[in-house]
Amino acid sequence: MLAFSNGLGNRRDFLQVGSLAFGGLALPALLPGRGTAASESTIADKSVIFLFLHGGPSQIETFDPKMGAPAEVRSATGEVATRTAGVTFGGTFPKLAQRSDRLTVVRSFVTGDGNHDIKPVVSRDTLGANLGSIYAHVAGLNHPVTGMPTNAALFPRAVDSTTQPETRSFGNFSATGPLSPACAPFTPGSGGSAQRDMKLNLPLGRLEDRRRLLAGLDHVNRALDAAANAGLDEQRDKAFRIILGGVADAFDLAKEDPKIVARYDTAPLVRPENIDKKWKNYNNYVDNAKSLGKLLLLARRLCERGCGFVTVTTNFVWDMHSDVNNAGVAEGMRYMGQPLDHAVSAFLDDLAARGLDERILLVCCGEMGRTPKINKAGGRDHWGNLAPLLLAGGGLKMGQVIGQSNRIGGEPSSQPVTIKHLLATILHTLFDVGKLRLQPNLSRDLGRMTEWESIAGLHR
């Protein structure tokens, strides 16, 4: 997590108040410090943004175009040369191609099946919990200085109240599995406005509960030394105001430089009137274009202020069968590829300008890939034997392609990279896994996760 100075008195007072800010109401959550499993030195000063491409993007039209393969296999959108020698991307990614030195693409990533779900984020491998919930369980529910929730999930309504609500048709991004429900990701905008949620629904009610509880716990101390505690109460009130204002501001894009907001904005790229309304997925295509860029900007703002794990998704948009619901790959990539190319490129430039590119890891993948052969209608169907995976930042080695696929882009021709490898890479980014493994309160299931191997060739 990224810690920043907030100009309040001494750190001890801020730790006392910051740990009271936004967690569950159980007494342990009101005590200062980290989660029960981790020491301060176990937690890396880094954050992860997991951009989940729900629906299953094609590995071929994204980052492995196979232009030498037969017509029914090769990318329907052509290819574009990258800055990495001998490497091309699908034709809708010219901006990312020019930033390939800041990316790592994995061409041997296997998700294991072709089912619609959210298995890279929530699955048996993650104990049935959102990976961010595991992070919050270990690191604590809130940043000890800023009060920022350590785990968040961002859906289109976090930045645009006119978009559709979160769907749980294929999985629950807020799942906590065997962990406390308090570890669930904070989901701003669920009431229609992220800023309203932060300023009214969440902090005022919960902070007042904590204020009353704290007043009761401090009653004896105030009776013993009324004068001294009067001064402490004044400082505590100041701390509450700073935490409340600072966290709420992080969720308010109106506080961002308008030029930066415009730079991220993906709405002008795919106008609603330019999307064929015959597709039942029409509203999802519209929502993706309206929100994707701003969701990544909001995620950056949260990580910048201490959030350790942010899940970002725009609902179900990458299913490209060319059927009654979904466009085929050529048309679908116009709707989806251009916003992704623009949003991630803006994000990479923004991180570099702010000096955060070593401290925030971006992960982009879906739940599966697409069939090597284009179907008769011009779409690609479900495929679990190969899927696209892109990573950027986080202090990992960039500017490379890891693994290889076979001639038709259907299976790895090198050692497969699995979801467990990806999860291990994320854990190694967020924690000192060697120290985490030795924590006496670490559960057996979490202990097993620390033994998994990261993606080879990524760590410096």
Which residue spans within 12-83 are E strands per DSSP?
47-52, 79-81
Establish if 206 belongs to a structural domain. Answer: no
Establish if 366 belongs to a structural domain. Answer: yes
| Tens digit of each residue's pLDDT, the chain (460 residues) | 444 333 333 333 333 333 343 333 232 333 334 555 566 789 999 999 999 999 999 999 999 999 999 999 999 999 999 999 999 999 999 999 999 999 999 999 999 999 999 999 999 999 999 999 999 999 999 888 888 999 999 999 999 999 999 877 899 999 999 999 999 999 988 654 454 455 434 444 444 444 544 454 444 344 445 544 555 455 555 555 556 667 888 999 999 999 999 999 999 999 999 999 999 999 999 999 999 999 999 999 999 999 999 999 998 899 999 999 999 999 999 999 999 999 999 999 999 999 999 999 999 999 999 999 999 999 999 999 999 999 999 999 999 999 999 999 999 999 999 999 999 999 999 999 999 998 888 899 999 999 999 999 998 8
The 3-state DSSP composition of the chain as helix, strand, coil percent (nearest 5) reads: 40, 15, 45
- List 79's β-bridge partners, or say none: 90
Per-residue pLDDT, 206: 44
Establish if 405 belongs to a structural domain. Answer: yes
Establish if 318 belongs to a structural domain. Answer: yes
Give Cβ neighbours of residue 51 (< 8 Å, ≥ 6 apart): 296, 312, 313, 344, 362, 363, 364
Establish if 146 belongs to a structural domain. Answer: yes
DSSP string across 313-328? --SS------SSSS--
Establish if 236 belongs to a structural domain. Answer: no
Q: What separation, in Å, do the N-terminal and C-terminal C-alpha atoms of the chain show?
A: 20
Number of domains in the chain: 1
- In 3D, which of 359, 422, 363 has the Cα closest to residue 394? 359
Establish if 412 belongs to a structural domain. Answer: yes
What CATH number does residue 363 fall under? 3.40.720
Per-residue pLDDT, 24: 34
What is the domain extent for residue 162?
35-196+254-449
Establish if 49 belongs to a structural domain. Answer: yes
Prediction pTM value: 0.86
